[in-house]
Amino acid sequence: MKTTLEYYDIFPKVLSTESESMVTIRALGAHVAFAGAEKYRIRLTPMNDTWMNLQERDCQTIDAAYEDGALHFFCHPTSEQQYAVLLQKQKGEIWVQCCELRIYALRPDFFRLRPFRGDMHCHTCRSDGAEAPAIVAANYRKAGFDFLSVTDHGQYAPSLEAIRAYEAIPMSFRLFCGEEVHPPGINSHTIHFGGDYSVNDLFRKKPEQYEREVDIIEQDLHVPPQVNARECASLIWVYQKIREAGGMSVMAHPCWIQGEAYHISRAMYEYLIRTQPFDALELTCGQSLAENQLQISLWQQMREEGHAAPVVGSSDSHGTVNSQWFGLSKMIVLAEKCEKDAIIAAVKARRTVVLEQYHGEEYPRVYGENRALEFVLFLLAEYMPLHDELCYEEGRLMKEYVCGDRAAGALLRQLGRRTEALSEKYWAQP
């Protein structure tokens, strides 16, 4: 965490370009305490401008008022961007800089959104993962996640198991239904996020109907010669059934090296990106850097050709304790609420920023639309570290609760919505 976050609290951090806001700076400890007899001011610098231009018209300088140990100032940043807040104190005839803080101004359409860190692809001991669904959920919250979908291979029930484990506890952390869909006779996998029932069960219970419906799709397909028409028809069937269930379909790990070859053929990958019968592409996941970078390169190439697919980042984790892939890939979704329909709408609107960070790397690589990505970079530095401290404590209590500690459950009922309160504090009130 940045030293300034430990020494000073500035709130709100996220302002609207449409209105003036009162901003407070509070000192966190006697070593940086403000004195009522001193004079303070703010120099507000728009960071998307150049220093040469700023010198020509100067930065905005605002007097800060001292009250109850904190400083307060009013500002109205009219341009959507990050602003440097330079806090200065007068010493004699000169102004000395105390610290540099940051705020961000958003236009109304983004200002109403909130950031939610999530994962739509993980496994538990109910398939080939290491831990029970409830423990997986607790460890995700401990790692700073706001939502999770358990997606065991061919199984929908483990996601319900995770949800039921915490249904008596009011929490900001959300668990959603899910599964990894494995149609018979083909190799490609699909992530089913959020639907009301299992798609795997459809072809298990009625295999003949599945084959007939795929036959119909295949007959109407006109695919390039290099694309396996039967595999493509089956995938389209899966995507359609996921939507009918009220969920979102995600093309999973296309460049995962499965055995000696990639999981999805290159011709199939490119055809699916061009036609986009799915809802989102898993841009990065828990696999090697080379595999992820190939997926990203192909996605970027298809964007240049005019086929911009929505993306998600998921870990495909098979364990959350000392695991190689846990937390490697994830995403921050900018949505109105941490609810299924709002998250799906945000993904489809390309308000998702994918983060890829291997163990030992200080900073993640980030991918997504520039407007969302620039805001998320601010959040990663200025907001998420504070958010993650609350999540860590909640995750520990979740694990203790499902392991039988009633006292942990009582504490969780008191603390389980603190991340919501945090966002209310740091977003300016209209």
Q: Which uninterrupted H or E stretch holds 180? A: strand 178-181
What residues contact residue 364 under an 8 Å CB cut-off, 6+ apart? 355, 356, 357, 380
Same domain? For 40 and 179 the reply is no
Condensed to tens digits (0 to 9), the pLDDT of residues 107-123 reads 999 999 999 999 999 99
304: which 2 tokens?
């240049």
68: which strand partners? none
pLDDT score for 93: 87
pLDDT score for 199: 98
Cis peptide before 133 (omega within 30 of 0): no
pLDDT score for 51: 61
Residue 418 lies in a domain: no
Same domain? For 280 and 343 the reply is yes
Same domain? For 248 and 355 the reply is yes
Condensed to tens digits (0 to 9), the pLDDT of residues 214-256 reads 999 999 999 999 999 999 999 999 999 999 999 999 999 999 9
Phi, psi values for residue 47, rounded to 5°? -80, -15
Stretches in the chain below the pLDDT threshold 50: 56
Cα separation, 335 vs 392, in Å, equals: 22
pLDDT score for 49: 80
Helices (H), 157-228: 157-165, 200-205, 207-219
Q: How far apart are the first and last CA of the chain?
A: 29
Same domain? For 38 and 84 the reply is yes
Residue 100 lies in a domain: yes
Q: Which uninterrupted H or E stretch holds 397? A: helix 384-402
Residue 416 lies in a domain: no
Cα separation, 135 vs 129, in Å, equals: 11
Same domain? For 174 and 96 the reply is no
Cβ–Cβ under 8 Å, residues 10 and 422: no
DSSP string, 237-297: HHHHHHHHTT-EEEE--TT-EETTEESS-HHHHHHHHHH--SSEEEEE-SS-HHHHHHHHH
pLDDT score for 56: 45
Same domain? For 281 and 374 the reply is yes
What residues contact residue 188 under an 8 Å CB cut-off, 6+ apart? 231, 234, 235, 263, 264, 268
State which residues form the domain around 256.
114-411
pTM of the model: 0.96
Cα separation, 353 vs 343, in Å, equals: 13
Q: Which uninterrupted H or E stretch holds 415? A: helix 406-415
pLDDT score for 429: 86
Domains of the chain: total: 2
CATH number of the domain that 82 lies in? 2.60.40.1930
DSSP string, 84-135: EEEEEEEETTEEEEEEEEEEEEE-HHHHT-EEEEEES-B--TTTT-SS-HHH
pLDDT score for 36: 83
Same domain? For 99 and 133 the reply is no
Cβ–Cβ under 8 Å, residues 149 and 250: no
Same domain? For 293 and 356 the reply is yes
Same domain? For 197 and 340 the reply is yes
